[in-house]
Structures are given as structure tokens and as C-alpha cells.
Amino acid sequence: MAATGIFAESRTAIVNALTALSLAPVTDPRNARPLSVLINPPTFDAFTYNVGDIRFELLILAAPPGNQDAEDYLITTADTIMGSTTLAVTGGRPVSVTVGDQQIPAYSLTVAIAARRN
Amino acid sequence: MATTTFLSNATVNMTVGAQTYDLSDQCTAATITAGFDNLEITAFGDTAHKFTKGLQNVEVSLTLFNSYGSNEVEAALYDAVNTGTCTLVISPSGTTESATNPEYTITGAMLAQFTPINSTVGELSTQEVTFTGGTWARDIV
């Protein structure tokens, strides 16, 4: 079943914005890999039944190990996303995520987006 | 037996001239403060102040999402401010008035000012507007 609704459309908007930045967004954790940006499911506050104040966590994934090369990639990519005039990045921090059985150096960014049904 | 109340938002319609705007889906809070002016009728010999009701007074506050587009919040409020008078019809839930869903109609309300742009990065763009004046009526049938 394909996702529908304001959350799915918001996710699609973020995928499109990341693609326009020549990045490789993925929405399926099974496809998460180094040099991609994993978009996690959103959190949200409902303003009304029609309007959502939505937050997505983006995980920029670098190639292990977590060395200078990985950090250079992560902060450069974080800067690219933050520099987008369409994506509202509200914060970010370095993290380590487990993909498969492997620890991956990553950067977690929070992106805010508002969506209304009509 | 318990009584359940859905905590959904109020139904808010605003009419400016011949155009009616349904603001319900962009409105997260609606407050009506309605009453009458109190006129003092204290007379010589009275041992306490006495009052009677005078003219109606009413104030309506709405918290709205700043949506843009034809018939959206910003356009509707601009219309109301620019025209100087509007009619508000507000009920707790839906447009079918009843004892459990009283409908309040404020005719001739004025919106003196609004906030068409309220933009902060990463935050929902909202505004609170206050309508004053006009006559109010309650309808349950």
C-alpha cells in the first residue's frame, strides 16, 4: 500500500528537495547505506484536523569508520541541506546509527514542514 | 452514563459582502465574549449599586493558520479588514444548530487589523485576530 495524505506528501516534498541537491534520499530503512540520506517517519503537532506542524528527522549516512573523512562528508552534506532555501532545518547533531550489524557515522537533522489537507 | 465530547475545533464561517469563507479547517481556537454594557440605574435611597443592561457588546478572537491562496485565511482577513465589516457564524461543532451545538451569529463585526505575514524559520505561521462590535444572536433551532 502506497502512503497517502499530508505526511506522505510532506515526505515526498523533502525527497524532491534533497534530490534537487544531488543527494540520495531513501525512505526505506532497508535501503539505508553510506552516502544516502535516510528520512525517518515524522513527528507532528496538529494545529487543526486540517493542518499539521510536522518534523522529519534526516539521517545523513557516511561511510565507516567515523574518522575525519566521514566527518568531512557529514558536515559538508549537512551544510548543503541547511543551505537549501526550501528546507527549514531547525537543528542537527552527530550520531551513530546501526545499519544491519554495522555502526555508521551519521548526522541527524531536524526539518520542519507545515502541511494542510486543503 | 458517561457523556463524551469530541474535542474537535469549532465551525467558523465569515461572510464579507456576498463572499463566505469557511475558516474552520485553519482555526485552532475561537473565543466569543458576548454580553451587554452595564448601565447604572442607582437611585437616591438605594443601598447598593444597581445596573441594567445596555447595548450589546461582543468580541471574537480566532487563532488561525496563515494559509495563502484564493479564499484562504490571508485573503479572507484582508477582505474583512478592507471592507470594514463582516458577519461571523460560529458554533462548537458543525453548522446544524441545536441545544448541544448553539450557533452564534455576530453581524457587523469589525476587524481592525491582521497579521498577514508572521514568518519564523521552522515554526508554523499563525496569527490571532480579534473582531469587535456588531450585534450577536444565539440560535439553537
Would the CB atoms of B124 and A50 count as touching at under 8 Å? no
**How far apart are the CA of A70 and the nearest CA of chain B, in angstroms?**
28
**Beta-carbon neighbour count of residue A12 at 10 Å?**
13
Find the length of chain B: 141
Give A113's DSSP letter.
E
Residues 6+ apart with CB under 8 A from A10: A42, A52, A54, A56, A113, A115
Q: What was the pLDDT predicted at B3?
A: 72
Q: Of the candidates A50, A53, A118, which has its C-beta nearest B124's C-beta?
A: A53
> Residue A97, class by beta-carbon neighbours within 10 Å (0-12 exposed, 13-18 middle, 19+ buried)?
middle
Q: Between B141 and B65, whose confidence is greater?
A: B65
Residue B48 scores a pLDDT above 90: yes
Once rounded to an integer, what is the mean pLDDT over residues B83-87?
97
Cell 437616591 sits at which residue? B44
Contact map slice: A 79-108 vs B, CB within 8 A: 88-90
One-letter amino acid identity for B49?
H
Residue ranges of E strands in chain B? 11-16, 19-22, 27-40, 51-65, 86-91, 103-111, 126-132, 135-139
pLDDT in tens, A24-66: 999 999 999 999 999 999 999 999 999 999 999 999 999 999 9
Q: Of the candidates B8, B26, B122, which has its C-beta nearest A51's C-beta?
A: B26
pLDDT in tens, B10-39: 999 999 999 999 999 999 999 999 999 999
Q: What was the pLDDT predicted at A84?
A: 93
**Beta-carbon neighbour count of residue B107 at 10 Å?**
16
Would the CB atoms of B25 and A50 count as touching at under 8 Å? yes
pLDDT in tens, A63-118: 999 999 999 999 999 999 999 999 999 999 999 999 888 999 999 999 999 999 98
Q: How many CB pairs under 8 A join A and B?
A: 40
Residues 6+ apart with CB under 8 A from B119: B125
Residues 6+ apart with CB under 8 A from B4: none
pLDDT in tens, B119-138: 999 999 999 999 999 999 99
**How far apart are the CA of A109 and the nearest CA of chain B, in angstroms?**
12
pLDDT in tens, A3-27: 999 999 999 999 999 999 999 999 9
Once rounded to an integer, what is the mean pLDDT over residues B87-106?
92
Closest-CA residue of chain B to A89: B122
Would the CB atoms of A49 and B122 count as touching at under 8 Å? no
A6-116 fold: STM4215-like (3.30.2000)
Would the CB atoms of B126 and A47 count as touching at under 8 Å? yes
Residue B111 scores a pLDDT above 90: yes
Q: What was the pLDDT predicted at A100?
A: 85
**How far apart are the CA of A101 and the nearest CA of chain B, in angstroms?**
34
